[in-house]
Amino acid sequence: MNARLLLLCLTLSPLCALADAVRVSLQPQAAVGKGLPELRVHIEEPIAGFEVKLKRGDGHEVRVKGGGPPGVTRTLPLEQPEGRFHYEGVLVVRFPDAEETSMPLSFDAELLGPLKLTVVPEDVDVEGRKLRFTLSRPAARAQVTVLMDTGEKALDGEVPFQGEPAGKPLEVTWPAAKGRVLRISLKAFDTSDFYTGVELFPWRVDIPHEEVNFPTGSADVPAAERRKLDASHALIAEAVARHGRFAPLRLYILGHTDTVGDTDSNRELSLKRARSIAAYLRKRGLGLPIFYEGLGEQSPRVATPDETDEASNRRAEYILAVEPPALSPTPFPSQWRKL
């Protein structure tokens, strides 16, 4: 074998060298949209040129020729689909005296798709002070901040993992702290140090209030009932002043009826009443975003037979939150409407 050929060739990465003349290194990973894995040929002494011949694990062949003076590094991007592929091949180097020699190349390269973090609502256990989630690749660590509505941080630090495989449930917990959990900030890293994150706002406050008594079939707020909404406005404004500096709060108004009348009419009536309440609070000076919806007789506080006059079911909910509160299942499409 030519004396210029260094006999040590590693299989984990092509850190092989034609002694003193050419050195090869590998950038084995890249993220989709942010480059490609790269094979790098470092020219350290005069050569006439080189050729890289590779065969990818799926049969695709790569042939690249190059050269240059000492001190030049030729970067060869490895065009490949998303995923991990094994490469086998050879680097052939030609010297100025026409002599030619080669070294074997054997390595893996990976093109990583977007790292995906999945959290479903039932995985946010505020009472149990824990959060579960999954990653689309093996997990290394997570940076977690749990902010309470008092402004105190129940947790602000790093949680280590042990390379748990993709899709395995991961969990972070936090100690007890005064107040309600307002925001959970999560940044999760895979074992290649790629990361993704999410901010969750499980916080909500149900504003206590007196129910507005609307005339039968009407959505107009009677003058005699406005004092109740004035009192609710004061409570909402107070809560916003206390907690609004920590997160962008919204007000959600949800209307309900009893079972007297037909289902479609009750749904429409509850929707109009919720909107009337929202409009009154806006006119009263409430500046935060307001959303409303009506569920009619679909989510009663007290279960009753049809056509039952039940005052406790004729009600509204006033909810301060950051993210839209979940709505009860209904036979019709339901959604929060912005005032």
Q: What is the pLDDT of residues 83-114, one digit of tens each?
A: 889 999 999 999 998 889 999 999 999 998 88
**pTM of the entire predicted model:** 0.70
Q: Do domains 17-112 and 117-200 have the same CATH topology?
A: yes
Q: Which residues contact 111 (CB under 8 A, 6 or more apart)?
A: 29, 30, 31, 32, 36, 37, 80, 81, 82, 83
Q: How high is the pLDDT of residue 13? A: 35
What is the pLDDT confidence band of residue 273, given thresholds at 50, 70 and 90? very high
- Fold for domain 117-200? Immunoglobulin-like (2.60.40)
Q: Which of 177, 170, 189, 167 is nearest to 126 (CA)?
A: 177
- Measured at the alpha carbon of residue 194, what is the angle toward residues 111 and 134, in degrees to the nearest 5? 100
The answer on pLDDT for 47 being more than 80 is: yes
Q: How high is the pLDDT of residue 98? A: 85
Q: How high is the pLDDT of residue 133? A: 97
**Architecture of the domain delimited by 17-112:** Sandwich (2.60)
> To the nearest whole percent, how much of the chain has pLDDT over 90?
80
Q: How high is the pLDDT of residue 146? A: 97
SS3 282: helix
The answer on pLDDT for 15 being more than 60 is: no
Mean pLDDT, to the nearest integer, of 22-41?
92
Q: How high is the pLDDT of residue 19? A: 56
Q: How high is the pLDDT of residue 122? A: 87
Q: How high is the pLDDT of residue 258? A: 93
Mean pLDDT, to the nearest integer, of 53-61?
96
Correct CATH for 204-338 of 3.40.50.720, 3.30.1330.60, 3.40.47.10, 3.20.20.370 = 3.30.1330.60
219 phi, psi to nearest 5 deg: -115, 10
Q: Where are the domains of the chain?
A: 17-112, 117-200, 204-338
Mean pLDDT, to the nearest integer, of 57-67?
95
SS3 230: helix
